[in-house]
Amino acid sequence: MQNDKYRTNPHMRRRMNAECRTMTDERMAWFANGRGALSITMRVWLALTAFCILNSAFAFAQTAVRAKTLYTMSGPPIQDGIVIMRDGKIVAVGPAATTPIPAGARVLEAAVATPGLIDAHSTVGLSGILNYAHDRDQIEHSEAIQPELRAIDAYNCREKLIEFVRSFGVTTIHTGHAPGELISGQTMIVKTVGDNVAEVTLVESAAIACTLGPAAQRGGGAPGTRGKMMAMLREQFIKAQEYVKKQDAAEADKKPDRNLRLEALGRALRGEIPLMVTAYRAQDIISALRLANEFNIKLWLDGAAEAYMVIDEIKAAGVPVILHPSMMRASGDAENMSFETAAKLRKSGITVVLQSGYEDYVPKARVILFEAAIAAANGLTFDEALRAITIDSARLLGVDKRVGSLEAGKDGDIALFDGDPFEYTTHCIGVAINGQIVSETKR
């Protein structure tokens, strides 16, 4: 009520304005006369306070990791190694003796530190931890060929399964539509932390997922046989070739109507994205190699349980292998899988990386850390197994400029362990993504 009186009474408003002007004039005069020295002191004090606050914030924004053994994947392991991160990036890596930790930086310590782990093929984020209808977006069964489906349109950043795999050191995943249809859709590459899909995405469209073998056969419909699968794929790629030619030849105002399916396949024909073919049997692997050669398509072999039977053909084609999880069920097309396949492919000079994969039961995904441990126990060296889930996966996926190794300028993605990462009794004790600690749960 008192405020209303001042607002409505013009005489009171004029009096208040006059008093305010008088107070301002007196204050300016006070700083202008002999007392002005105090204003300088105040200015210096304020400047020093601001500097201290900014310096404190700068130090707090820095995080350091100190490990008894630091695997950078860009050189030999560093004993008593230090990684310093600031503003989401790694700014320094080296021995503790020559890499001082900034004052005020948050420091995490571990027995072993590695780059954040990379899962080279997963469905996490489309498939969920509960196996209910609401978290099963990994496969669409309405049609056999649907390359227009995009993982980014189905990915759920808040899915609890993402948090689960992250707690084991997994910081980047190549995820998307699952095997199970001839072409099930597109995949994407994401970080495992963040609240919206734009924030977490590294690559919006990474590959087109294709399946050869009984898993993609449709009872009572097409395709029902391997021959029909190849014929249907060939037909669609021929259509896509014609579509691309018309698009390229037509003037801007006379281009054919857009066709999302043919656009997606056209990107594969142009070499913009690879065709990732899930094939377990040797005969399906050979069919995939033949298709890629016929249409000059960049190919990733996925699954590849019987790859050790056709090593020469895979090597001659220069095709990498995203090998099946060792802990998948050895049945059906995968009945001839072997724990030693990764070592055999690697020894032959074939690029091989590891994945958590997908099976249609809870929790639909495994932990890539354990897959690497099994490979290390069956022929791969420690370094080879770790590379298969860090820098080699990053290079295959085309994201090695940002992740996969601990180097200055790369993202601050680190996994911390209290022992040998591949030892069963070891725990993941911390995870950093983009320089921020996102997990300190002991797993």
pLDDT digits (tens, 9 = 90+) for 267-299: 999 999 999 999 999 999 999 999 999 999 999
Total tally of structural domains belonging to the chain: 2
Asked if residue 346 and residue 223 are part of one domain, the reply reads yes
The answer to whether residue 416 is domain-embedded is no
The answer to whether residue 377 is domain-embedded is yes
Examine the pLDDT at 42 and tell me if it is beyond 60.
Answer: no
Asked if residue 159 and residue 295 are part of one domain, the reply reads yes
Rounded to whole angstroms, the Cα distance separating 302 from 241 reads 25
Q: For the chain, percent helix, then strand, then coil, each to nearest 5? A: 40, 25, 40
Asked if residue 196 and residue 328 are part of one domain, the reply reads yes
Domain with residue 378: its CATH number is 3.20.20.140
Q: What is the pLDDT of residues 50-104, one digit of tens each?
A: 444 444 444 446 999 999 999 999 999 999 999 999 999 999 999 999 999 999 9
Evaluate whether 424 touches 404 at the Cβ level (below 8 Å).
Answer: no
Asked if residue 135 and residue 31 are part of one domain, the reply reads no
Q: How big is the chain by its Cα radius of gyration, in Å? A: 29
Asked if residue 8 and residue 129 are part of one domain, the reply reads no
Q: What is the helix (H) or strand (E) element at residue 3, kind and residue range?
A: helix 2-8
Backbone angles phi, psi at 104, to 5 degrees: 85, -5
Instruction: Give pLDDT, residue 250.
Output: 87
Q: Determine if residue 167 is left, alpha or beta; phi over 0 gives left, psi from -120 to 50 gives alpha, anything else beta.
A: alpha
The answer to whether residue 420 is domain-embedded is no
Give me the long-range contacts of 230-234 (CB less than 8 A, separation at least 24).
230/287, 230/291, 232/144, 232/145, 232/182, 233/145, 233/182, 233/183, 233/291, 234/291, 234/294
Evaluate whether 275 touches 286 at the Cβ level (below 8 Å).
Answer: no
Q: Are strands 183-191 and 208-211 parallel, antiparallel or unpaired?
A: antiparallel
Instruction: Give pLDDT, residue 223.
Output: 97
Asked if residue 142 and residue 13 are part of one domain, the reply reads no
Rounded to whole angstroms, the Cα distance separating 235 from 294 reads 12
Asked if residue 308 and residue 189 are part of one domain, the reply reads yes
The answer to whether residue 99 is domain-embedded is no
The answer to whether residue 91 is domain-embedded is no
The answer to whether residue 413 is domain-embedded is no
Asked if residue 146 and residue 17 are part of one domain, the reply reads no
| pLDDT > 70: percent of the chain | 86
Asked if residue 191 and residue 46 are part of one domain, the reply reads no
Backbone angles phi, psi at 212, to 5 degrees: -115, 135
Evaluate whether 80 touches 66 at the Cβ level (below 8 Å).
Answer: yes
Q: Are strands 299-303 and 321-323 parallel, antiparallel or unpaired?
A: parallel
Range scoring the smallest mean pLDDT among 240-254, 262-276, 309-323: 240-254
Asked if residue 14 and residue 152 are part of one domain, the reply reads no
Asked if residue 125 and residue 46 are part of one domain, the reply reads no
Q: Give the structural domain span for 235.
A: 117-403
Examine the pLDDT at 385 and tell me if it is beyond 70.
Answer: yes
Q: What is the pLDDT of residues 97-116, one digit of tens each?
A: 999 999 999 999 999 999 99
Backbone angles phi, psi at 292, to 5 degrees: -65, -40
The answer to whether residue 228 is domain-embedded is yes
**In terms of Cα–Cα distance, which of 128, 131, 190 is closest to 413?**
190
CA-to-CA dists, residue 235 to 238, 267, 288, angstroms? 5, 16, 15
List the structure tokens of 417.
Answer: 């362990």
Examine the pLDDT at 362 and tell me if it is beyond 80.
Answer: no
Considering Cα of 398, then 123, then 210, then 281, what sign does the dihedral take?
positive
Asked if residue 323 and residue 241 are part of one domain, the reply reads yes
The answer to whether residue 143 is domain-embedded is yes
List the structure tokens of 89.
Answer: 């990036």
